[in-house]
């Protein structure tokens, strides 16, 4: 009997991009068993370095083809999509370098009386099989961020892409195989989260689950994973504080980009804006003007700034959240409507804290605008949600920047830039409902390996 398939369609016009196999739980078990068996074959650091570097060059050579694929299957404009392959290739290069730096250190056993003659050290060894479960919004870059460090640390990896954006990750896995990664050392399984994702998470032979996605799924993973390492990046409701001394020429474009790039479907996206009352009116006027210049349309149109969300259903949900906020007293300054899966970039003023736009992750092109009287109020309101991934502050006062850095309950505080800033080498992750653990090359290598102590008693 032929294997069932899943159709992948462009969210703007529902054009068929292609089909993928709908794998079963038995397919997942077989892939993990093969991954476990592959760990008995040596995969030395020099070879890991070589294949990751070779794959990075192939990815650079394929950048235009993969960018078009990203724009067709997902929620990126072609201009946004063109940035993802070069970034992903750099992640592979950074991972290759990390493969040559997986190391431990010596231990001073003579700190304990009677152990003066002992000598020893600890070394880092692969954790084992890593289950890498990807989101739809940055499918190639997130795949590189999970697979690159996992291979650098010497693991085997089984990848599950989101069924709506599978083709770019599938292409990356193919390039890694062509570069020399053994087939069983890196595998990809496609299908639903309920079947394929659950089978990966619950399999006792998986030693690390690296998941990027929603908080509800993250909570389900923590309940069902069993005893294994979890690296969970679960989204955000990121706040930006704009102080009275802020450089608005820097703040406005950074906020607009941070709020509306990728149709707002970005875990680091700007969702709440707290603006000092002294500059509030000017900021609001300039923000609305800049937002209304953005063009919405098909992802392959090179003049488009905001393309379709991942589905019309998600677009309907976002508009329903806007309508809820308006019914509670919020004021739409621009946008607020949709056409199919396209939601016009939206600014809503004075959204009550009880509304979903204020307290939950909207994951759409909407930003909430509120006045504040000072930094202390901005920090308190920024912290008053169940998430804590990134926050940002625009100020030229060093003491305000340091106060914010020490007081904001997040994984990253960005000064004079959007929350949507990430350096691929920095530890990346959040607190509270935003997740567990850290990504970023070195942080991920550490999370995907184990310390093994060796002690000699002469």
Pick from 322, 342, 324, 317: which is nearest to 334 by CA? 322
**Residues 6 or more apart from 269 whose CB is under 8 A from it?**
236, 238, 258, 259, 261, 262, 363, 419, 420
Pick from 338, 345, 116, 381: which is nearest to 238 by CA? 381
Question: Checking phi first, is residue 456 left (phi over 0); if not, alpha (psi -120 to 50) or beta?
Answer: beta
Pick from 77, 81, 73: which is nearest to 7 by CA? 73
Structure tokens at 72: 């067709």
Active site residues: 233, 267
CA distances (Å), origin 174, targets 114, 119, 357, 437:
55, 45, 40, 28
In degrees and rounded to multiples of 5, residue 240 shows phi and psi of -120, 130
Q: Count of CB atoms within 10 A of residue 167's CB? A: 21
Q: What is the largest CA-CA distance in the chain?
A: 77
DSSP state of 114: T
**How far apart are alpha carbons 455 and 337 in whole angstroms?**
66
CA distances (Å), origin 308, targets 13, 212, 339, 431:
9, 21, 9, 30
Structure tokens at 189: 């399984």
**How far apart are alpha carbons 204 and 96 in whole angstroms?**
28
């Amino acid at each position: 009997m032929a294997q069932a398939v899943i159709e992948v369609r462009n969210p703007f016009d529902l054009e068929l991009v292609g089909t993928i196999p709908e794998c079963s739980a038995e397919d997942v078990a077989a892939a993990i068993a093969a991954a476990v068996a592959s760990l008995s074959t040596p995969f030395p650091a020099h070879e890991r370095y070589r294949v990751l570097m070779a794959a990075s060059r192939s990815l650079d050579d394929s950048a235009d083809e993969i960018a078009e694929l990203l724009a067709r299957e997902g929620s990126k404009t072609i201009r946004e999509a063109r940035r993802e392959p070069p970034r992903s290739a750099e992640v592979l290069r950074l991972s290759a370098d990390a493969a040559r730096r997986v190391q431990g250190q010596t231990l001073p056993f003579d700190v304990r009386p009677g152990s003066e003659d002992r000598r020893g050290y600890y070394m880092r060894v692969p954790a084992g099989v890593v289950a890498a479960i990807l989101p739809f919004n940055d499918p190639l870059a997130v795949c590189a961020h999970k697979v690159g460090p996992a291979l650098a640390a010497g693991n085997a990896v089984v990848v599950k892409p989101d069924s709506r954006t599978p083709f770019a990750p599938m292409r990356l896995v193919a390039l890694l195989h062509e570069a020399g990664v053994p087939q069983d050392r890196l595998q990809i399984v496609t299908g639903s989260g309920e079947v394929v994702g659950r089978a990966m998470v619950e399999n006792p032979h998986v030693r690390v689950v690296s998941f990027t996605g929603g908080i509800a799924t993250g909570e389900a993973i923590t309940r069902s994973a069993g005893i294994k390492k979890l690296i969970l990046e679960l989204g955000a409701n990121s706040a930006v504080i704009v102080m009275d001394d802020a450089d608005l020429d820097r703040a406005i474009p950074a906020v607009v980009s941070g709020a509306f790039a990728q149709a707002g479907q970005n875990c680091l996206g700007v969702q709440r804006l707290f603006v000092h009352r002294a500059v509030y009116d000017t900021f609001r006027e300039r923000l609305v003007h800049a937002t209304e210049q953005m063009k919405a349309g098909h992802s392959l149109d090179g003049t488009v700034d905001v393309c379709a969300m991942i589905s019309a259903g998600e677009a309907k949900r976002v508009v329903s959240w806007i309508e809820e906020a308006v019914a509670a007293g919020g004021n739409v300054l621009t946008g607020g409507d949709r056409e199919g899966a396209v939601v016009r970039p939206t600014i809503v003023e004075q959204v009550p804290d009880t509304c979903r736009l204020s307290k939950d992750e909207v994951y759409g092109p909407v930003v909430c605008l509120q006045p504040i009287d000072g930094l202390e109020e901005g920090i308190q309101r920024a912290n008053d949600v169940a998430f804590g991934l990134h926050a940002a502050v625009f100020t030229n006062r060093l003491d305000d920047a340091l106060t914010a850095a020490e007081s904001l309950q997040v994984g990253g505080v960005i000064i004079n830039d959007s929350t949507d800033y990430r350096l691929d080498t920095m530890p990346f992750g959040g607190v509270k409902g935003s997740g567990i653990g850290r990504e970023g090359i070195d942080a991920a290598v550490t999370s995907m390996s184990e310390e093994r102590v060796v002690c000699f008693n002469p």
